């Protein structure tokens, strides 16, 4: 396949995203992760844009990502930093290329009325990685004071109309688990059960709180007291946000 593209280039025919994705799929079929990384960098050099299908082809070939999404349990990372720590070197390089591309930006909408992540078209691996990176990107946007806080935050994951089992969306089930694991305030939209929604200010508090707790957990011993206290803080935040400062002071 790569030889065919070389002939196309020598004949003055430029490769596009579709052709490049075919090469990635060929490498993926042979578990050639280093070659996939080289090809992604070549796409960047040639100015070939990455697409959702690019992410699907790459992440469907990463054994760790596939194993995690098949068995999403309490040990599954729920932050991009935690995920990078358990990946192989080749997988980490691939993830880095993907999250630095424009794919996430194209899946996002950001204005005063809504901040939205649209996971349509993404396979489980892509939806998982992009959701974790979206949470990181959102935290940075909302904490630096340079971006407007949207009135509402939405994650579109679909309701399963195009799934193998109609009405059962694997992506929705995975996002539900991530939201529960991170104690997210986002809930399924009553008007559209394929979306999770929450007010922008509430999402900001949640993301900043989870970040502070993750920093604290690095510097404090993982004792039963600290685990209990973390749960208490999240409970207070969810139901009594005005008492949040008081909860921190009680530590």
Q: Which CATH number does the domain housing residue 115 bear?
A: 3.30.1370.110
For residue 250, what are its two tokens?
Answer: 């009680």
Does 176 score more than 60 pLDDT?
Answer: yes
Torsion of CA 99, 101, 106, 111, to 10 degrees: 70
Separation CA 161–CA 111 (nearest Å): 28
Give yes or no: residues 71 and 156 share one domain: yes
Q: Is 75 within a domain?
A: yes
User: Running DSSP on this structure, what letter comes out for residue 49?
Assistant: P
- Which residues have a Cβ under 8 Å from the Cβ of 65 and sit 6 or more positions away? 59, 87, 91, 125, 128, 129
Give yes or no: residues 138 and 229 share one domain: no
Compute the average pLDDT of residues 80-98. Answer: 95
Q: pLDDT by residue (tens digit) across 214-226? A: 555 444 444 433 3
Q: Is 125 within a domain?
A: yes
Does 201 score more than 80 pLDDT?
Answer: yes
Q: Is 9 within a domain?
A: no
Give yes or no: residues 103 and 222 share one domain: no
Residues above pLDDT 70, as percent of the chain: 78
- Owning domain of residue 121: 50-204
User: Count of CB atoms within 10 A of residue 251's CB?
Assistant: 12
Give yes or no: residues 64 and 178 share one domain: yes
Number of structural domains (the chain) is: 2
Separation CA 213–CA 207 (nearest Å): 10
Give yes or no: residues 67 and 179 share one domain: yes
Separation CA 214–CA 93 (nearest Å): 24
Separation CA 59–CA 165 (nearest Å): 22
Compute the average pLDDT of residues 49-64. Answer: 95
**Average pLDDT of the chain to the nearest whole number:** 81
Q: Is 3 within a domain?
A: no
User: Count of CB atoms within 10 A of residue 226's CB?
Assistant: 15
Q: Which residues pair with 196 in a beta bridge?
A: 155, 188
Give yes or no: residues 136 and 219 share one domain: no
Give yes or no: residues 113 and 160 share one domain: yes
Q: pLDDT by residue (tens digit) across 147-161? A: 889 999 999 998 755
User: Running DSSP on this structure, what letter comes out for residue 184?
Assistant: -
Element (H, E) at 106: helix 103-107
Q: Is 12 within a domain?
A: no
Give yes or no: residues 193 and 212 share one domain: no
Give yes or no: residues 218 and 196 share one domain: no
């Amino acid at each position: 396949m790569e030889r065919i593209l070389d002939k196309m280039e020598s004949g003055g025919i430029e490769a596009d995203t579709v052709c490049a994705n075919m090469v990635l799929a060929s490498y993926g079929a042979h578990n050639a992760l280093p070659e996939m990384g080289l090809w992604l960098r070549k796409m960047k050099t040639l100015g070939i844009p990455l697409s959702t299908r690019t992410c699907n082809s790459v992440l469907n070939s990463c054994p760790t990502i596939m194993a995690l999404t098949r068995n999403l349990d309490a040990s599954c990372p729920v932050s991009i930093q935690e995920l990078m720590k358990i990946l192989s070197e080749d997988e980490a390089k691939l993830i880095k290329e993907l999250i630095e591309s424009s794919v996430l930006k194209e899946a996002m909408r950001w204005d005063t009325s809504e901040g939205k992540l649209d996971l349509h078209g993404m396979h489980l691996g892509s939806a998982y990685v992009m959701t974790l990176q979206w949470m990181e990107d959102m935290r940075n946007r909302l904490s630096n004071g340079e971006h407007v806080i949207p009135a509402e935050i939405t994650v579109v994951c679909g309701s399963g109309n195009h799934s193998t089992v109609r009405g059962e969306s694997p992506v929705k089930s995975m996002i539900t688990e991530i939201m529960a694991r991170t104690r997210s305030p986002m809930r399924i939209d009553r008007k559209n059960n394929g979306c999770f929604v929450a007010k922008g200010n509430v999402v900001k508090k949640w993301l900043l709180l989870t970040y502070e707790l993750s920093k604290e957990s690095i510097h404090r011993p993982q004792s039963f007291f600290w685990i209990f206290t973390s749960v208490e803080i999240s409970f207070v935040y969810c139901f009594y946000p005005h008492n949040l400062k008081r909860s921190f002071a009680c530590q």
